[in-house]
Amino acid sequence: MFKVIRKQIRPNTEVPFFAVTDVNFLKWMRENYLETGKILPAKNSISEDGLVQTTEVYFQSHEVAREWKYNTYVVENLHNVLDAYCAAAGIIVLPTIVIGEVENNVESV
């Protein structure tokens, strides 16, 4: 598995973190990545002060992570939407942290 971490830092707890709500995109992700085993469901955690959300994503491989990152559909329906929402809401998205290959001991949901 290939682990990627993304962090969102919001200005206060009244501002909701970005969350994918596009039903068509969620269906596409489920069919093309989750059900195929290319990606495990994202795991979110919130800091004690409620200002930082950390998202951990496990991809089948580095190649799959790159495929997903540069997929035109993902860029248009996730990355661009995330960037626009966060810019408007005052949320800082830290650069993605790539952990690389990790043991496949992650529980799938």
pLDDT mean over 23-47: 96
The three-state (H, E, C) secondary structure of the chain, written as one string: CEEEEEEEECCCCCCCCCCCCCHHHHHHHHHHHHCCCCECCCEEEECCCCCEEEEEEEECCHHHHHHHHHCHHHHHHHHHHHHHHHHHHCCEECCCEEEEECCCCCCCC
Domain ranges of the chain: 2-101
pLDDT for position 100 = 65
Q: 61-109 pLDDT, tens per residue?
A: 999 999 999 999 999 999 999 999 999 999 999 977 777 666 654 444 3
Architecture of domain 2-101: 2-Layer Sandwich (3.30)
